[in-house]
Amino acid sequence: MPALQNKNYFNYGGQGPLPTESLKAITRSWQRIQELGPFTNNVWPYITKEVISTKNLLSEICSIHPNRIAFTENVTSGCVLPLLGLPFYEGDHLLISDCEHPGIVAACKELARKKNLRIGILPVLQLCYGDDKKNETYKTILKLIDENLKKNTKLVVLSHLLWNTGQIMPIELIARKIKEHSSKPYLLVDAAQSFCHIPIKGACDMADIYAFTGHKWAYGPEGLGAVALSSRVLEESNPTLIGWKSLKAEEGIYVNNKNPFHSDGRRFEIATSCVPLLAGLKNSLIMLHNQGNETERFLKIKNLSAILWEKLNQIKNIKLVLDSPPPSGIISFSIDGINSSEEVVKHLGQKNLWIRELEDPKWLRACVHITTDLTEIDNLVFALNNFIATEIS
C-alpha cells in the first residue's frame, strides 16, 4: 500500500489506504471497458457481471440478500436517499444521537424543517467507558433509548460505531427494543466506522437503513459505498433522487405507469456511476477476507488499540476519552496545556505521523487497523511525548 510506505498512518476512520492490487484492478477494469465498449453491446455483460459479483460479495459480508443492497457514492447518500423517501407526518418525532456526523444531522434537521417534525437528542457521547464495561454500557444505552423514545417517535438515528468516542452501539439489541415500541420507528444506522472494522452481520440485518462506504476501513477506493435496506424500507420509502437506474424499465415512462421503480435496492440507485471502482472494492474486500474473518480481524484491531491506549495512558498530559482500553480501533484523547489540537496534528504531520483533530468535542483521534504495526504505535507515542516535553512547560 503506497500510502503506508512513507508515513505512520492513523487516519483509517477518515480514509483507508488503497492497496496497489486494488488500484491495478481498477485500472484493468477501466481498460477492459474501453476495449469492449465503452458504449457497445459487448460491454454490458461485463458491467452486469461486475455489478452482480460486487453486490453478492457485499451481501455475504452483510449476511443479507443482495436485493436489499443499493450502491451509493458514500455513507451520507446511503443514509439520506432512503431517509428522505420515508413517510413522515407533521409533529412526528425523530430521535438522533449526539454523536452523529454533521452531514446526517443537517439532513435530518432540513427534513424536520420541511415536514414540521420534532427532533430529540439521544445522549450517547457521555458513554466514555472502555471495553471491560461493555455490559453496563449496553444496559445504559438501552435505558437511554427507553427514556427518549416518545409515543410519536418515527425514526432513530444512531451510528454503529461512534466516530468520536469509538464506542460500539448494540444495534441488534436496540433494533429489538425499537420494534417493540408502539410507534414502530425506523432505525437508521450510520455504518461509516463499523464496516470492515467490527462484526456487522446481525446489525446490518436488523437495521432499516445501514449505510457504509468502501473508502474507510475496507481499504476501497473513494466514490463507492452501499446501503443495506430492510424489506420495510423497500416497501415504504419512495425513491428521492430519481434516475434511469431506479426504473424497472426505461420504455413506457410517458404512459400511465403508477409504479415504475425497482422494488429492490436499485430504487435508490440513480444513474451512470464509475464501474471500475467495483473491481477495486472487490479486490480490497477479498484481501481483507484473506487476513481472517471479521471476528479475527476485529480481535487483532482491539489488541493493537489496547496497546496504544495503555501507552498513551502513561503520558501525563494526555487525557484519554475512554476510561479503559477501547472496544474498537478508534482512540480519542485530548492534551492538557496545549493551545489547539490543530497544532498537534501539524507537528505530528511534520514528523510524518498522521492523526486527526475532531471539531466537536475538540479531541484528537488515532485509529489502528490490521495494517498498523507496533513500530508505528511506538513512533506516535514517542512523538507525542516529545511534543509534550518541548511545547508544554
Ligand X SMILES: Cc1ncc(COP(=O)(O)O)c(C=O)c1O
For the four alpha carbons of 57, 58, 60 and 64, in that order, the dihedral sign comes to negative
Rounded to the nearest 10 degrees, what angle do helices 20-36 and 276-290 cross at? 150
In this complex, which beta carbon is closest to ligand X, that of residue 127 or of residue 192?
Answer: 192
For the four alpha carbons of 80, 85, 90 and 91, in that order, the dihedral sign comes to negative
161 in Cβ contact with 75 (< 8 Å): no
Q: How far is CA 366 from each of CA 14, 178, 226, 331, rounded to the nearest angstrom?
A: 10, 33, 25, 5
248 in Cβ contact with 260 (< 8 Å): yes
In this complex, which beta carbon is closest to ligand X, that of residue 24 or of residue 362?
Answer: 362
196: left (phi over 0), alpha (psi -120 to 50) or beta: left
Task: Give the three-class secondary structure for 22.
Answer: helix
In this complex, which beta carbon is closest to ligand X, that of residue 216 or of residue 267?
Answer: 216
Work out how close the CB of 382 gets to ligand X at its nearest, in angstroms, rounded to a whole number.
Answer: 27
Work out how close the CB of 34 gets to ligand X at its nearest, in angstroms, rounded to a whole number.
Answer: 28
In this complex, which beta carbon is closest to ligand X, that of residue 163 or of residue 298?
Answer: 163
* Residue 229, number of CB atoms within 10 A of its CB: 26
Work out how close the CB of 345 gets to ligand X at its nearest, in angstroms, rounded to a whole number.
Answer: 15
Work out how close the CB of 292 gets to ligand X at its nearest, in angstroms, rounded to a whole number.
Answer: 24
For the four alpha carbons of 5, 362, 95 and 128, in that order, the dihedral sign comes to positive
219: left (phi over 0), alpha (psi -120 to 50) or beta: left
Cell of 384: 507525542
In this complex, which beta carbon is closest to ligand X, that of residue 97 or of residue 372?
Answer: 97
| Beta-bridge mates of residue 211 | 190, 227
Work out how close the CB of 330 gets to ligand X at its nearest, in angstroms, rounded to a whole number.
Answer: 10
In this complex, which beta carbon is closest to ligand X, that of residue 78 or of residue 387?
Answer: 78
Binding site for ligand X (CB under 6 A): 14, 74-76, 101, 103, 159, 163, 190, 192-193, 213, 225
In this complex, which beta carbon is closest to ligand X, that of residue 14 or of residue 199?
Answer: 14
DSSP assignment letter at 10: -
Work out how close the CB of 159 gets to ligand X at its nearest, in angstroms, rounded to a whole number.
Answer: 5
Work out how close the CB of 249 gets to ligand X at its nearest, in angstroms, rounded to a whole number.
Answer: 31
